[in-house]
Structure 1
Amino acid sequence: MNDYISFFREIQARSKFEMEYEKRHSNKLASKFNAMKFLNWNENKVSEILAFFLNPNEDHGQGDIYLKLFKEELGLYFPYDTPEKVQVILEDSTFENRRVDIVLRNQDQSSVLGIENKIYPWTKDQENQVEDYLKYLQYISNNHYQLLYLTPKSKELTEYSGGKEIEKLTETGKLYLINYEEHIIPLLKEFIKNTENERVRCFLVDFESQLIENYMGKENLDLSSLNHFITETEENIETAFKVSNTLNSIKQEMKNLVNQQMYQVVDELTEELKMRIIYNEQFHHFEIPVFKNFFIKFNYEEGGVIYGLVKTPQYMDSHYDKIYLNDLRNYLGVKFRTSHWWPLFFLQYHNIEHDAAFWIDVKNGTFKEFMKNFIITVLQSPNELKQDL
């Protein structure tokens, strides 16, 4: 136990030093600035960025260096006579009016590469989606075709999308499963090293940093001294892996603590408001007796934690269309989004698999108080704003 205590104390000391150094020199380092924050970050935008750099004829001015690295690092077959004859197409339409995110064709279409891009692990494929893409690529190619299925490492391709021949297709190379963590992020490091223009290099650095933050956590952006400490001894490496292997069980314990805290919220509100409120831990929603059509709810979605108002199943059946509660949204002062299920929802915590903020707020009771205050605020809103709830 003493070894673990010493290990964590050293980690904390080094982390504190790095944070203080960054704070003291923030005017020169600006380590938190990232141009990607200004973009509408979605699958289309990420595909657009990838296609831009893979196209030798785009305005990055680096010719086919990125395409060459893409081929070499991933071991792809895509011959071409001259870069000028390479064609890169975004959202190439198939026979079934589906769209392959990125398609690369050489001069005579003897070789075709397709890329299906999924930036979120929870995004669902359509039925036979990947299977149809492969058929389309086979049709337009005179000789060789290949589909790269690009996803976060945790996302799996199923027969629902890829058909029953997934294993055979991967063995023959027609279907190549790649991910951001093991393939694209290391590839971007090569892009950066081989870029001659400083402005283009800076853009690629920001793109790489955003992907690292999304898929590996903010802590991975600048931990060189901690990495050095961990790899100093065999004991440190072993301890680091033991700690890492406990994270999943820790997260489950923390989710159990969230449920305990939500029951405490119910007890406290019942006492304070003299109102019987029910918490459903399976669906993480609060049943409010004066609300007939909606629950107050939080949920683990979009890679983080969202909260807001959700329709009851009965109300959803009769009111499938989106319901906009603009007056209540304005009153609450939060930039809530709207879906078919949720008339109001907001992503309060991002990337909880790699970011500690949510788990810390659970531990110190901040999230509990946040949900309690949200419930109170909704309940105490003017009657005309909640009469349809």
Structure 2
Amino acid sequence: MEKLQNLLNEVIKKTDALKTAQALYSRQLAPKFNTFDYINTDELGLSRILADLLNPKGSHGQQESFLRLFIEHCLPNLNQAANWQSFIDHIKKTNVLVEETTWKSGTSRRMDIYLECKADGTSYGICIENKPYASDQFKQLQDYANELTNRNLSRWHLIYLNEYTDTPSEHSINSKELQALTAKNQFSALKFSDLIDWLKACQVECQNNSVTEFLAQLIKFIQKHFMGIEDMNMDKTVLEVMQQSDENIEASIQIANNLNELKKQLIQKLIQDLKAEFSKNYDKGSYQLDISNLGDGKNYEQVNLISPSFNNGYICFEFQSANFDRPCLGFKFNTRAEVNSFINAENMKTALENNLSNKKIWKSPLWPAGYYFSPQDWRSSSKAWLMIRDGEMASKIMKEMDAMFQILNGNGCFNG
């Protein structure tokens, strides 16, 4: 126990010193500034950014160098494949499209990023399905695979870009079909964190200072929003302390082994706080609180408000990732059929946009309207967990869920 306490004391001492230094030199360092706080970083926005970087004719002016580095760092199986060498040799001929329609298969989907190239009588196609936030749509990856097949390309490849799952769901493509594509070198799964090495390589090769700084800002954005790294300097300082001695390494591992259990215990406290908050301050006649699917740390665990007068869907607070991370809040249906048959589904997004101007409202196949709950990072930041410990989180969750219910109900969104 003494070893653990000594480690914690040393980490606190070092990080406090770093915070003091950052405060003293904040005007020079601007540690919290990031260009991407002022840029549209929804799915389409990120697709446009990545597409322009991959485009040999992109505004970055570095010709095909970024695309070549992407193939080398992110798609080594293609880079080393004999039947893709003509593409590598003629990579500067590549055209890059955003939101390319699946015209050949007639499914009316849009491929987020599509790369096409013809060289030496051989046609190549690469589809990048960009999934930074939303879940997979029904048969989405299967439809893209069919589209690439139907285009009669000599070689094609499908990329699934998502930070939180290694493969798309069965909802999107059958596992046997996915295995077959992988075996034929037609599928790769990439994480946003996998892009870091590529972007750093681009920085090294880039010959323009403005573009180099943009790449640095994009790296910081990915580290913060997809990897939970708020401050690389802080991480470096903590790691140095952890490695100072055998005792510190041993204590660090003991702390890591107990971290998930600590989170589960705090979630149990949150559950009790939510029950108490609901019982004390909210109208049981309007809706009921359901916390039956929360506590294990699995993907998509939820807190729900279920109205007895509307059984097609429910107000939902849901963790999008395992181990209680990336919560969102919105209205959720059980099936796509319920969404498609409900006449007021589209009005829900409009109602929230009009009444929650400080939130970025989005929609997905099962969610006609929702937003990402703040604090968003529950994986590596202590903020959310301290709020639970201090009894503040249950009140915040219930207040925002009730506000959403009142807005939707008041705008007649539950009618029909």
Q: Compute the TM-score of the two structures, normalised by the length of structure 1.
A: 0.80
- Label 1:373 to 1:104 Cα distance change in 2 as closer, same or farther (>3 A): closer
1:166 aligns with 2:178: yes
Residue among 300, 303, 306 paired with 1:284 = 303
Query: Residues 152-208 of structure 1: CA distance to partner in whole angstroms, max 9, x if unpaired?
Result: 143532444333232232133211222222x21222121222222111011111111
Paired amino acid for 1:304: R
Residue among 343, 356, 374 paired with 2:382 = 356
Residue among 88, 101, 115 paired with 1:104 = 115
Deviation, 1:258, is 0.9
- Label 1:238 to 1:102 Cα distance change in 2 as closer, same or farther (>3 A): farther
In the alignment, is the contact (CA less than 8 A) between 2:361 and 2:369 conserved in 1? yes
In the alignment, is the contact (CA less than 8 A) between 2:243 and 2:249 conserved in 1? yes
Residue among 345, 349, 352 paired with 1:321 = 345
- Label 1:165 to 1:235 Cα distance change in 2 as closer, same or farther (>3 A): farther
Whole-angstrom CA distance in 2 between matches of 1:233 and 1:135 = 56
Matches within 5 A, 1:329-340: 335=359, 337=361
Partner of 1:91: 99
Matches within 5 A, 1:1-389: 1-73=1-73, 74-75=75-76, 76-77=78-79, 78=84, 79-82=87-90, 84-94=92-102, 95-96=104-105, 97-108=108-119, 110-120=122-132, 123-127=135-139, 129-140=140-151, 142-163=153-174, 164-181=176-193, 183-219=194-230, 221-222=232-233, 223-269=235-281, 279-282=289-292, 284-285=303-304, 299-301=317-319, 304-306=326-328, 320-323=344-347, 335=359, 337=361, 347-371=373-397
What RMSD over aligned residues (CA atoms) do the two structures have, in Å?
A: 4.0
Whole-angstrom CA distance in 2 between matches of 1:224 and 1:66 = 28
Whole-angstrom CA distance in 2 between matches of 1:13 and 1:195 = 39
Where does the alignment leave 5 or more consecutive residues of structure 2 unmatched?
Answer: 293-301
Query: Residues 197-256 of structure 1: CA distance to partner in whole angstroms, max 9, x if unpaired?
Result: 111011111111111111211345332222223334455445434433433333322222
- Label 1:110 to 1:136 Cα distance change in 2 as closer, same or farther (>3 A): farther
In the alignment, is the contact (CA less than 8 A) between 1:80 and 1:107 conserved in 2? no
The answer to which of 301-310 and 16-25 deviates more is 301-310
Whole-angstrom CA distance in 2 between matches of 1:103 and 1:326 = 31
Q: Which has the bigger relative contact order, CA under 8 A and spacing at least 6?
A: 2
Whole-angstrom CA distance in 1 between matches of 2:309 and 2:5 = 52
- Label 1:238 to 1:55 Cα distance change in 2 as closer, same or farther (>3 A): farther
- Label 1:191 to 1:246 Cα distance change in 2 as closer, same or farther (>3 A): farther
Whole-angstrom CA distance in 2 between matches of 1:378 and 1:161 = 30
Partner of 2:295: none
Paired amino acid for 2:6: S
Whole-angstrom CA distance in 1 between matches of 2:116 and 2:330 = 46
Whole-angstrom CA distance in 2 between matches of 1:159 and 1:373 = 35
Aligned length: 380
Deviation, 1:116, is 2.8
Whole-angstrom CA distance in 2 between matches of 1:325 and 1:130 = 26
Deviation, 1:334, is 5.9
Paired amino acid for 2:98: L
SS of structure 1 residue aligned to 2:226: helix
- Label 1:32 to 1:141 Cα distance change in 2 as closer, same or farther (>3 A): farther
Paired amino acid for 1:279: L
SS of structure 2 residue aligned to 1:254: helix
SS of structure 1 residue aligned to 2:345: coil
Deviation, 1:81, is 4.7
The answer to which of 160-169 and 187-196 deviates more is 160-169
Deviation, 1:27, is 0.5
- Label 1:40 to 1:333 Cα distance change in 2 as closer, same or farther (>3 A): closer
Deviation, 1:17, is 1.6
In the alignment, is the contact (CA less than 8 A) between 2:288 and 2:306 conserved in 1? yes
Whole-angstrom CA distance in 2 between matches of 1:378 and 1:48 = 31
Whole-angstrom CA distance in 2 between matches of 1:114 and 1:312 = 33
Where does the alignment leave 5 or more consecutive residues of structure 1 unmatched?
Answer: none
SS of structure 2 residue aligned to 1:145: strand
Partner of 2:297: none
- Label 1:80 to 1:324 Cα distance change in 2 as closer, same or farther (>3 A): closer
Deviation, 1:328, is 9.9
- Label 1:141 to 1:221 Cα distance change in 2 as closer, same or farther (>3 A): farther
Q: Compute the TM-score of the two structures, normalised by the length of structure 2.
A: 0.75
Whole-angstrom CA distance in 1 between matches of 2:352 and 2:112 = 38
Paired amino acid for 2:2: N
Paired amino acid for 2:158: L
Whole-angstrom CA distance in 1 between matches of 2:403 and 2:113 = 46
In the alignment, is the contact (CA less than 8 A) between 1:36 and 1:206 conserved in 2? yes
- Label 1:296 to 1:368 Cα distance change in 2 as closer, same or farther (>3 A): farther
Paired amino acid for 1:179: K
Whole-angstrom CA distance in 2 between matches of 1:21 and 1:305 = 32
- Label 1:16 to 1:70 Cα distance change in 2 as closer, same or farther (>3 A): same
Give the greater-gyration-radius structure (CA).
1
